[in-house]
Amino acid sequence: MQPDELGAVEALAQMRAGRLSATRLVEACLERIALREAQVQAWVAIDADGALARARAIDAAADWRGLLPGIPVGVKDVIETAGLPTAYGSPIYAGHRPKADAACIALLRAEGGIVLGKTVTAEFATTTPGATRNPWNPAHTPGGSSSGSAAAVADRMVPLACGTQTSGSVLRPAAFCGVVGFKPTCGWLSRQGVKQVSESLDTLGTFGRSVADAALMAAAMARQPGLALADPVAPPSVTVVRTEAAHEGGPEAWAALEAVVQALSRAGVVVDASELPAPCGELPRIHPLIEHFEAARALAHEHTWHADRLSAKLRDRLDHGLAQPAAEYRQAHALAQACRESVARWFDGHDVLLTPSAPGEAPEGLATTGSATFNRRWSLLGLPCLTLPVMRGPRSLPVGVQLVGRWHDEARLLATAAFIERLVGWRA
């Protein structure tokens, strides 16, 4: 296996055994980027010299410390990186170079991670796509807004990458690109130094080629080593939640979910079905009310002084947010809180939830990033979620499933995901 084909956990094992150096791993990733970037377009900036210098320093160190010593990572371009371009997917910030790292990147570097470069994002992590193509078929979207991060990991340009999610910007591109996407509980990872869209909804997340890889990066970004274990553990039960959006799921989405159900049943895990409490049917409706109201204020500078450099779609969204009555926003928040409280009581009877990650395979075309219909409710509830690739659909594109856990119960979610991965998962 070539170095660029290794996941992060595998690469660390090779380096500790003396069979691989950090320098060689970075070189292999750069070679892969040189070979494939023209087709995939996952990156907006590469720091080849800086990454190689850091790798050589790690190789020369007497002992390696941290969770990610020598592992190259991609960073979504809405997350600030000291000295590297951070344009937030907008021409307004072309050439912008922050003086400091975002908190999650500072922690990641302290754990030995090597920032290889910045990955493409949709405009301000919203809905207007960047240039990235799906590595499996360049005529199809990679999803978004964390398009470059998902595509770079899927195409073996880098073993790990980080992204953000407001609606479905980690879970959906992970499903479309056939990698693991992990979004912890909202607020679990510090958002300091991350371009804000929605104060209530924005959440950091990670991409890897395995559950263990995605967990390892999240552990490094939070400096919580215990999360990096992600040992497979069979859950007492798994609950299938189809949601009121079930009719939007394609045959391949339900086939992937059924494959997981059958594998769990054969393994002796109790699988049942349920639906969220009745008020939660309103979550998809109120999610954009909250997001647009907050985005109009978070992006007030850009909207006020640089509206001509925003996409028409984003301008319309911000105009809507400014025109929205404050009372409607407060009512949406009150309903969201009532839903969280009812779900907290409902969750007492359930361990881990199983639901689609996306309506199906990545749609053809690059004008949109696909539908977040199976993601919004979980983002608004703030629950930890994970996309696990399961199979290929009728167009030979990846199809995944989504696992949802209780608030701040990332360990159980990851252990269950690793167990299912061992049963039916596959790697990009």
Give yes or no for a contact between 290 and 336, defined as CB atoms under 8 angstroms apart: yes
For residue 180, what is the enclosing H or E element?
strand 180-183
Active-site residues, by number, are 76, 145, 169
The dihedral region occupied by 268, where left means phi > 0, alpha psi between -120 and 50, and beta the remainder, is left
Contact 310, 123 (CB under 8 A): yes
Residue type, 193: G
Provide long-range contacts, Cβ within 8 A and 24+ apart, for 20-24: 21/55, 21/59, 21/70, 22/54, 22/55, 22/56, 22/58, 22/59, 22/69, 22/70, 22/71, 22/114, 23/52, 23/55, 23/56, 23/59
Q: In what order do the strands lie in the sheet with 270-273?
A: 43-46, 114-119, 72-76, 160-165, 203-208, 180-183, 385-392, 398-404, 352-356, 237-240, 270-273
Rg for the chain, CA atoms, rounded: 20
Q: For residues 298 and 195, what is the distance between their CA atoms, to the nearest angstrom?
A: 9
Q: Are 283 and 377 in contact (CB under 8 A)?
A: yes
Find out whether 234 and 419 touch, Cβ atoms under 8 Å: yes
* Sign of the alpha-carbon dihedral angle for 292, 174, 218, 84: negative
CB 257 within 8 A of CB 401: yes
For tokens 């990458």, the residue is 161
Strand partners, 270: 237
Nearest to 185 by CA among 356, 347, 334: 347
Whole-number Å distance between alpha carbons of 271 and 46: 45
- Exposure of 105 by Cβ count < 10 A (0-12 exposed, 13-18 middle, 19+ buried)? buried
